[in-house]
Structure 1
Amino acid sequence: MSSLLHRPRLDADGLVRALRARLPQVGPQRATTAAGVEVIGVSVARDRVREVWDEWRGRHGETGWWPFVTLLSPDALARSSRHSGVDAAALEDLMAEVLRQDHDARAASVVVSALRWSAWEDSGEDREEWCDDYDPDRLAPRLGPQLAEPLPGVSRWGCGDRDVFRGRNRRWLNFVAVRGGHEVPVVLPYVIGTGNWCGYGDRFLTPADDAALLRRWHEQWGAGLFLAQGAYLELVVDRPPLDPRGAAQAATELMGYCRDTVQAPRSAGDGMVRSSVWSLWWD
């Protein structure tokens, strides 16, 4: 029986050779998770990691390996207790679920669950305000006019002057064989730690939920997974929504996914979602 996991154009040895040729000053490291997923990584200076990530993301179609930034080496990532509990059979089942799901419908279900929970928590005027926040058609008229170009993106977690991990001068650029960045949390389950999202009522976020939203945002706005570090997630967005309706849609979906970061969709709709970097964090 053939595997549902992605088969890259370049095998692991080929990727290692390509990394050594392009980054001769750093030796690639390799590790394998309990489910048999190979992780290949290189240590990169913090001030260069975006540049190097851009290059290798651009080569994804050529290699079949998606790069993402983290503080964990391949070995530390593979040995993580979160990943050690997932065997090959469980991973195949998870990938089958992801491949057959309607990712737009699943993404919408996350937002609906968040709205229902918020409405259950609050009552009266507060409940009506939540409905305004979660309905793009009601939110859009409250946002600013269309922008001519994206706002400058500021990395809060991966690199740059506002990077909260700037005390650590190097980052790991790890590679996994996937069809796109949306499959990273599938082959490395719970590489994104959604913290106390933990569920609106009886609804719990799963790697399939992460994959659905990440794929939707990639298709809609060119969002690519840049950093995954536990409770921290960062996306580089090639075509952020610049019009009020698109910004409202993105803001409501981001609020449904990560209310710890997007607590005020109006501010997010006029700010972060119209920029080239989306930084999310779960408390």
Structure 2
Amino acid sequence: MNTFLHQPRLPADELLRALRTRFPLTRPQRATTPAGVEVIGVPVRGDGVRRAWEEWRRRHGETGWWPFVTVASPEGLAAGGSAGDASALEESLAEVVGQDHDARAASVVVSGFRWSMYRVGGDAEDLEGWRDDYDPDRLAPQLGPAIDAPLPGVSRWACGGGGVAGRSRWLVLVPARGGHEVPVVLPRLLGTGNWFGYGDRVLTPADDAALLRRWQEQWGAELLFVAGDSLELAVAGPPLGPRDAAQAATELLGYCPDTVQDPRTAGDGMVRSTVWSLWWD
């Protein structure tokens, strides 16, 4: 049967056996969402979860299973991480596979600008300020010069930060072409399309997928951690110059203004680092 759900090269039973061999002191878990998505995971201590994620990320090409770090078990994700049945999932995946993710990402930024102006309002000076925030060509001259190497990123939730080092996280794998499909196959995993965002502007899993895919292609930003109101990306080649940093900062502002409240601070800081940590209030 033809399906838009990614078909992994490594069968689920074999992946489960591989995880048992790789993590002999823990107990991998397997579950299936109501929409038919297989979810397989293993608990890993916080100080080792980044290495585990990198290992299985490197193996994505041979397995077809995308790894990410989270706080819930596969059984918990399967119970609460699916919205709708298999036909609804197929419809969502068809939209994501066929969409122009660059255009969709741009629309998120434009809608963020329009929402800000509608909700906050202001005079002509305020309008110019919002344009400075959302237009990378206007923002770039306000950022610092290019730097020679990426800034070291600090993980807030996946590993190492916030007292995570001594606690376990779940390394979870799902059938996906890339990290951008994770919020689609598990649409309740990330809250942007459900109970948060900002104001009455709610993002959809297709919006999440568009931004995540664009950032992966542009800067090697790959889904590392996701849970509820928090998202973390490991960024292999973050923008180092002011124009590219401004582009990324405006897109991050449009997507997550709770984190990127000042695109100048973000453009000279987090955007040029190897970890992007986003959260929504």
The normalised TM-score by structure 1 is 0.95
- Tell me which residue corresponds to 2:35: 35
Asked whether 1:75 is paired with 2:75, we answer yes
- Paired residues in the alignment total 277
- Tell me which residue corresponds to 2:89: 91
- Tell me which residue corresponds to 2:58: 58
Q: How does 1:180-191 map to 2 (within 5 A)?
A: 180-191=178-189
Cα contact 2:157–2:225 (8 A) shared by 1 = yes
Cα contact 1:199–1:205 (8 A) shared by 2 = no
Q: Following superposition, which runs of at least 4 residues in structure 1 exceed 4 angstroms of deviation?
A: none
- Tell me which residue corresponds to 2:249: 251
Higher deviation after alignment, 18-27 or 8-17: 18-27
- Counterparts of 1:38 and 1:239, CA distance in 2: 31
- Tell me which residue corresponds to 1:14: 14
Identity among equivalent pairs (%): 66
CA offset at residue 256 of structure 1? 0.3
Q: How does 1:86-125 map to 2 (within 5 A)?
A: 86-120=84-118, 121-124=120-123, 125=125
Aligned partner of 1:117: which letter? W
- Counterparts of 1:167 and 1:235, CA distance in 2: 18
SS of structure 1 residue aligned to 2:259 = coil
RMSD: 1.4
- Tell me which residue corresponds to 1:271: 269
CA offset at residue 204 of structure 1? 2.8
Cα contact 1:262–1:268 (8 A) shared by 2 = yes
Change in 2 beyond 3 A, CA 1:198/1:265: closer
Q: How does 1:127-206 map to 2 (within 5 A)?
A: 127-160=127-160, 162-163=161-162, 166=164, 169-194=167-192, 195-197=195-197, 203-206=201-204
CA offset at residue 26 of structure 1? 1.6
CA offset at residue 219 of structure 1? 0.1
SS of structure 2 residue aligned to 1:56 = helix
SS of structure 2 residue aligned to 1:47 = coil
- Counterparts of 1:10 and 1:196, CA distance in 2: 35
CA offset at residue 267 of structure 1? 0.3
Aligned partner of 2:122: which letter? S
Runs (5+) with no aligned partner, structure 2 = none
After superposition, what is the alpha-carbon deviation per residue over 1:193-214, rounded to whole angstroms, capped at 9, x for unaligned?
12532565xx531000000000
Cα contact 1:236–1:278 (8 A) shared by 2 = yes
- Counterparts of 2:95 and 2:73, CA distance in 1: 28
The normalised TM-score by structure 2 is 0.95
After superposition, what is the alpha-carbon deviation per residue over 1:74-111, rounded to whole angstroms, capped at 9, x for unaligned?
0011111x52x411000000001111110000000000
Cα contact 1:223–1:237 (8 A) shared by 2 = yes
- Tell me which residue corresponds to 1:234: 232
Change in 2 beyond 3 A, CA 1:267/1:198: closer
Cα contact 1:198–1:205 (8 A) shared by 2 = no
- Counterparts of 1:26 and 1:88, CA distance in 2: 31
Change in 2 beyond 3 A, CA 1:93/1:198: farther
SS of structure 1 residue aligned to 2:47 = helix
- Counterparts of 2:235 and 2:165, CA distance in 1: 26
